[in-house]
Structure 1
Amino acid sequence: MLIANGSCHLDLIIYLRATPETCLQRIQARHRSEEESISLDYLQTLHERHEEWLIHRNSTNLSIPILIVDANQTKERVYNDTNTHVENLISC
């Protein structure tokens, strides 16, 4: 793991937070053959793990700021919201 061995320095984590259902809809809309076997159960497990790690900060001692973006919105809105937050952080 990069962080564990000290070879990576993070200034910010951007968490594009979407429901497993939204993720599954987007996967199905892409029609990528390599994604056909991804199930809702798998996405729910991933979502729970990311919530534990990034929202509840369980089993980690990260002191890195986390920017949470509502990724249930349209991709244009997600892009604009993320850019706005990052620009605000850079200008500080």
Structure 2
Amino acid sequence: MEHECYCQWFDHVTRQSPPRLDLIVYLRSSPEVCYKRVQERGREEEKKRVDLDYVKALNKCYEDWLGNEEHHSWHGNTPVLVIDGNEDKTLHKTHCSNILSHLGLSETVAA
């Protein structure tokens, strides 16, 4: 019942004032990497409910929606920036600068 209420409210709000997105950032990771990270987190609620087949199904949905091109694609009129999320790495200042530059933003916007 709560889910149905949420869906009706979401539909009402988006009809009244459709969201205007400037950018979608898609952190693309393989289902296997995502599943491994879920296992490493060790959250009780994820242990019982998240299996590899579920993660693969979610990945397919995101790939169908956002992952049509290797680096940059469009969803309607909204650009999609695809970033490789498979590697465990901290975003270094240079990497962040490159992303911001690609988006036409300055570093002060992200601060």
Shorter-chain TM-score range: 0.7 to 0.9
Amino acid at match of 1:73: E
Amino acid at match of 2:62: H
State which structure, 1 or 2, has the greater radius of gyration over its C-alpha atoms: 2
Number of residue pairs the alignment of both structures matches: 85
Give the structure 2 partner of residue 45 of structure 1: 57
Taking structure 2 as the reference length, the TM-score comes to 0.65
Give the structure 1 partner of residue 28 of structure 2: 17
User: C-alpha distance in 1, partners of 2:14/2:99?
Assistant: 26
Q: Matched residue of 1:65: which SS?
A: strand
Q: 2:97 aligns with which of 62, 75, 84?
A: 84
* Cα drift, residue 87 of structure 1: 1.8
Structure 1, unmatched stretches of 5+, are: none
Give the structure 2 partner of residue 74 of structure 1: 88
CA deviations on 1:16-57 (whole Å, 9 max, x unpaired) are 000000001100100111111201000101100101101239
Structure 2, unmatched stretches of 5+, are: 1-9, 70-74, 107-111
Greater relative contact order (Cα 8 A, min sep 6): structure 1 or 2?
1
CA RMSD of aligned residues (A): 2.4
Q: Matched residue of 2:78: which SS?
A: coil
User: C-alpha distance in 2, partners of 1:9/1:15?
Assistant: 17
Taking structure 1 as the reference length, the TM-score comes to 0.77
